[in-house]
Amino acid sequence: MSTGSLIAIIVACAVVLVIVLVAVWMFSRRRRLRRDFGPEYDRAVEEQGGRIAAEKELRGREKRHDDLELRELPTEVRRRYADEWSGVQQRFVDHPESAVAQADTLVIRLMTERGYPTDGYRQQLQDLSVEHGSTLEHYRRAHEVNERNGDGRVTTEELRGAMVHYRALFDDLLDSGTAGGGARRGE
């Protein structure tokens, strides 16, 4: 075998090895994003029109999230929020419309207390998606009902559902704001 043939074989093997390594790296990165973002990964793929654009978007969210100064909540603050939530739930019996609006306000206050910016609904979704992707659809559904609630176009059953949805995100935010609660991204 000539030296030129041997070099060609080695170069071809090196190229194949590089291609395999890049494919494995991309697959593991995609798998991690799917795991970390949960259903939000598929939503991003649909909204962005493909996996590559969606993964770029999700990595951007992670970078923004890494710059946030999220805080753990002391026990007394967590207890205060839990008590406030109980009060909102109790008010639901007599005043479901206002209780849903109060639940929305309480969730946003909790987000602020944890260190999440609350500039706008879309940004809230993006920031929350990094650590709370599994409960984000709950927030979307609750928010949609709360928006229609302002127009008086919702049923009591929809309001009840909104409370359940708000509760899912509320609990996730409250539990992840403790030293022992909620898994962090990358753990």
Q: How far apart are CA 123 and CA 127, in angstroms?
A: 6
C-alpha span between 134 and 10 (Å, rounded): 47
The CA distance from 69 to 88, in Å, is: 28
3-state SS class at 70: coil
Do 68 and 116 touch, CB atoms closer than 8 A?
yes
Residue 118, amino acid: T
Each residue's pLDDT tens digit, 149-172: 988 789 999 999 999 999 999 999
pLDDT of 27 reads: 83
> What length is written for the chain?
187
Q: What average pLDDT does the structure give for the chain?
A: 89
Model confidence band, residue 34 (pLDDT cutoffs 50, 70, 90) = confident
Q: Express each pLDDT in 95-134 by its tens digit.
A: 999 999 999 999 999 999 999 998 899 999 999 999 998 8
